[in-house]
């Protein structure tokens, strides 16, 4: 079963990662991999949220 994963909740809510890892085996990034998040300003890229979600998924 899958779930959309929210970067802010993943990094700020101590219970969120535990519940995701226990209850789901498929994760879909909610907004972390959308262009507006990765490239909020022209020629400036920030993959922090995407990388954090990928790392979490790889670990679980």
| Mean pLDDT, range 20-47, rounded to an integer | 94
| Mean pLDDT, range 36-44, rounded to an integer | 92
Cα 9 to Cα 52: distance, rounded to the nearest angstrom: 12
Task: Give the model's pLDDT for residue 28.
Answer: 94
Domain ranges across the chain: 2-59
Task: For tokens 């507006």, name the residue.
Answer: 36
Cα 15 to Cα 11, 21, 47: the distances in Å are: 10, 10, 24
pTM score above 0.75: yes
């Amino acid at each position: 079963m899958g779930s959309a994963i929210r970067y802010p909740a993943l990094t700020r809510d101590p219970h969120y990662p535990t519940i995701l890892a226990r209850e789901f085996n498929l994760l879909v990034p909610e907004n972390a991999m959308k262009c507006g998040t990765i490239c909020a300003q022209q020629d400036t890229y920030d993959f922090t949220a995407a990388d954090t979600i990928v790392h979490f998924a790889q670990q679980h």
